[in-house]
Chains A and B, each alone.
Chain A
Amino acid sequence: MAEKKLGQQTVKFNNPPSIISTASIAGIKEGEGPLRDYYDMVLKDDLFGEESWEKAESKLSRETVLLSLSKANLTPDKIDYLFAGDLLNQIISSSFSARELKIPFFGLYGACSTMTESLSMASMVIDGGYADYAVATTSSHFCSAERQYRFPLEYGTQRPPTAQWTVTGSGAAVLAKNGNGPYVKFVTTGRVMDFGVKDANNMGAAMVPAAADTILRHFKDTGLSPKDYDLIATGDLGELGGELIKDVVAKEGYDMGSKYTDCGIEVYDTEKQIDVNAGGSGCGCSAITFCGYIYDQLVKKNLGRVLLVSTGALLSPTSSLQGESIPGIAHAVTIEMG
Chain B
Amino acid sequence: MEKKAEKNISNDFSKMVNEKNPESTLLKDCILAFVIGGLICDVGQFFMNLFLSYGVSNDDIGYYVAAIMVFLGAFLTGIGVYDDIAKYAGAGTVVPITGFANSIVAPAMEFKNEGYVFGIGGKMFVIAGPVLVYGVSSSVIVGLIYYFLMR
Contact = CB atoms under 8 A, between A and B. Distances in A.
Contacts of B17: 197, 202, 205, 240, 244
Given A195-B10, A275-B87, A240 B103 contact: no
26 contacts: A52-B113, A147-B110, A147-B111, A152-B106, A152-B107, A152-B111, A154-B78, A154-B102, A154-B109, A154-B110, A155-B103, A155-B106, A155-B107, A156-B85, A156-B87, A156-B94, A157-B86, A158-B90, A161-B23, A162-B22, A195-B10, A196-B14, A197-B14, A202-B21, A208-B13, A244-B13
Interface of B: 9-10, 13-14, 16-17, 20-25, 29, 77-78, 80, 82-83, 85-87, 89-90, 93-94, 99, 102-103, 105-107, 109-111, 113, 127
A152 B21 contact: no
A147 B113 CA distance: 12
Contacts of A151: 106, 127
Interface string A148-171: 000111111111111000000000
Contact of A155 (B13, B78, B83): B83
A158 B22 CA distance: 15
A256 interface: no
Interface in A202-246: 202, 205, 208-209, 240, 243-244
B29 A158 contact: yes
B29 A155 contact: no
Given A195-B13, A205-B17, A154 B87 contact: no
A140 to B, nearest CB: 18
B120 to A, nearest CB: 11
A197 B13 CA distance: 10
Interface of A: 51-52, 54, 147, 151-162, 195-197, 202, 205, 208-209, 240, 243-244, 247-248, 274-275
Contacts of A208: 13
B107 A161 contact: no
